[in-house]
Chain A
Amino acid sequence: MSTPTTEGQTFAVVRELIAKDHAIAPETLTPETPLQSLEIDSLALIELIFTLEERFDVVADKVPDDLPTLGSVADYIDGLVAARMAAPGDATPAA
């Protein structure tokens, strides 16, 4: 069974990960929060995407370089999830 995702839920996961990592209140993070303001550089972004790949069972071939905000990261993951669910022959049989 695939994880049901909505944009809001994906962002909530991103927010939870970042808040925990940086020891800050989740409420201070919005979809508009720039990665730069959290000192998430290209390497930290690779790690964040890696964690999200596992969480949402998707694979990113490359980490795009146009993800400036937390919201754009969540959208990118949502795009991968949608592509996976639309892909033919990927219907996971029910256990």
Chain B
Amino acid sequence: MAARRVAVTGLGVVSPLGMGEAGFFESLQAGRSGVRRLDAPFSERLSTRIGAPVDFDGAAHFAPPRLRMLDRVSQFALVAARQAVDGAGLDAFDKARERAGVFLGTGMGGAQTTDDGYRALYEQGAARLPPFSVLMAMNHAAAAWIGIDYGLQGPNLTYSTACSSSAVAIGEAWRRIRSGEMDVMLAGGSEAPLNLGTLKAWEALKTLASEDADDPSSSCKPFALNRSGMVLGEGAAVLVLEEWEHAQRRGARIRGELIGYGLSTDSSHMTHPTVEGQARAMALALEAAGIGASAIHYINAHGTGTAANDATETKAIRQVFAAHADQVPVSSTKSMHGHLLGAAGAVELVATLLALERGTLPPTINLRMADPACDLDYLSDGARKVSGAGVAMSNAFAFGGTNAVLVCQSADAARTA
């Protein structure tokens, strides 16, 4: 059987730049930052007080009995899934529940519940924990809830490969549809790491950006000479992936097509990335898409803002794109929404698809001091209007060394393909 095509028919996003694709992209386009000083009471105990929180009230989305069963990470995922399913106009799951599934990525899972539980036990001397602690903290809770809400009986899997988790989830979902096993997949990722325990653990690793003295919101500076690390963010994104004919038959609005996925592992160091590993994932994604590097019009970089990643990724792009590297615009939207860890790949794929759909490439903000080791076109002067940008790449790399790269094209490009 020839490989089937995979349409994207729904986009849901809960981000530090807003809820829903419209607000999210408007902020990206305007170069607005979601990074700020955290105002949680515990933030006084942090040596790095910045983060990219989501302005989110769970009570606005869930009734109290339900809310008490949902860690923040699941709340984000369920809201993003609802947006995606509603946007896709999908109410026909009844017919094909067994051929529809959920693949999500998360790095830390229900970290808030774990943190709350430990505080209750060790700090407050609690004799017992709330009854749903296990169901809230388990890493696949978010995916399980989505499956239950929509009655999806196909595979329900959660991938955890740190910062590439949701890119892996989306890529693996793409493979299931392409191979003919599934017709519809809800795929994406969710992360809610802005609690004291998780933030202190990240602080200890010394990879977080220091606060910009003049403007905390510009603390994340990917590809800049004065970059000092990543800024942790929270949020979720869920996409509806659908077999092309399935989407067309029901008259769905096709938002783009996922055409390639490349996966590689550095297998060399827990945190230090390799040019070879990243380049291989990019090359494999291009190969799967059946296109050459010169067909790519935009790269949404992993671009964490750490010294190691940004220089390594730049070299890897140069290696894969050769002479075309100087022609292809690259940006790190993490400069605005922060690093959403297990949700990063999904949130950034949404940004990439919207960039193609709207013909506007989002910028890398806070890049004013050029680094000789980072010498590509990073869209540092602001968003760029482009015509005919049809194909793009989204990179997601990770601690542990799992590199995942996704290639997508706009609906217009897909129709003429």
The answer on a CB contact under 8 Å between A47 and B132 is yes
Chain A interface residue number, banded: under 10
Any chain B CB within 8 A of the CB of A43? Answer: yes
Task: Identify which of B6-14, B64-72, B321-329 touches chain A.
Answer: B64-72
Min CB distance, B130 to chain A, in Å? 7
The answer on a CB contact under 8 Å between A22 and B65 is yes
Any chain A CB within 8 A of the CB of B131? Answer: yes
A43: B residues at CB distance < 8 A: 69, 131-132, 135
Q: Which single residue of chain B is at the shortest CB-CB distance from A53? A: B128
The answer on a CB contact under 8 Å between A21 and B69 is no
Question: Complex formed: what's the CA distance from A32 to B217 in Å?
Answer: 57
Min CB distance, A14 to chain B, in Å? 14
Interface of B is mostly: loop
Question: Complex formed: what's the CA distance from A21 to B65 in Å?
Answer: 6
The answer on a CB contact under 8 Å between A46 and B131 is yes
Q: Which single residue of chain A is at the shortest CB-CB distance from B128? A: A50
Any chain B CB within 8 A of the CB of A91? Answer: no
Question: Complex formed: what's the CA distance from A73 to B64 in Å?
Answer: 20
From residue 7 to 57 of chain A, which have CB atoms closer than 8 A to chain B?
Answer: 21-23, 43-44, 46-47, 50
Min CB distance, A29 to chain B, in Å? 15
A-B contact count (CB 8 A): 17
The answer on a CB contact under 8 Å between B64 and A21 is yes
B135: A residues at CB distance < 8 A: 43
Question: Complex formed: what's the CA distance from A44 to B131 in Å?
Answer: 10
The answer on a CB contact under 8 Å between B131 and A47 is yes
A50: B residues at CB distance < 8 A: 130-131
From residue 135 to 156 of chain B, which have CB atoms closer than 8 A to chain A?
Answer: 135
Min CB distance, A94 to chain B, in Å? 23
A46: B residues at CB distance < 8 A: 131
Question: Complex formed: what's the CA distance from A43 to B130 in Å?
Answer: 12
Min CB distance, A57 to chain B, in Å? 12
B63: A residues at CB distance < 8 A: 22-23
Question: Complex formed: what's the CA distance from A43 to B132 in Å?
Answer: 8
Min CB distance, B293 to chain A, in Å? 51
B69: A residues at CB distance < 8 A: 43
Min CB distance, A49 to chain B, in Å? 8
B168-185 interface bits toward A, Cβ cutoff 8 Å, 1 = contact, 0 = none: 000000000000000000
A44: B residues at CB distance < 8 A: 65
Min CB distance, B326 to chain A, in Å? 57
Question: Complex formed: what's the CA distance from A23 to B63 in Å?
Answer: 9
Question: Complex formed: what's the CA distance from A50 to B63 in Å?
Answer: 19
B68: A residues at CB distance < 8 A: 47
A72-88 interface bits toward B, Cβ cutoff 8 Å, 1 = contact, 0 = none: 00000000000000000
Question: Complex formed: what's the CA distance from A47 to B64 in Å?
Answer: 12
Min CB distance, B346 to chain A, in Å? 28
B residues neighboring A (CB under 8 Å): 63-65, 68-69, 130-132, 135
Q: Can you list 17 A-B contacts (CB < 8 A)?
A: A21-B64, A21-B65, A22-B63, A22-B65, A23-B63, A43-B69, A43-B131, A43-B132, A43-B135, A44-B65, A46-B131, A47-B65, A47-B68, A47-B131, A47-B132, A50-B130, A50-B131
A residues neighboring B (CB under 8 Å): 21-23, 43-44, 46-47, 50
Q: A22-B63, A22-B65 are in contact. List 15 more A-B contacts (CB 8 A).
A: A21-B64, A21-B65, A23-B63, A43-B69, A43-B131, A43-B132, A43-B135, A44-B65, A46-B131, A47-B65, A47-B68, A47-B131, A47-B132, A50-B130, A50-B131
The 3 closest A-B pairs by CB, nearest first: A50-B131, A46-B131, A47-B131
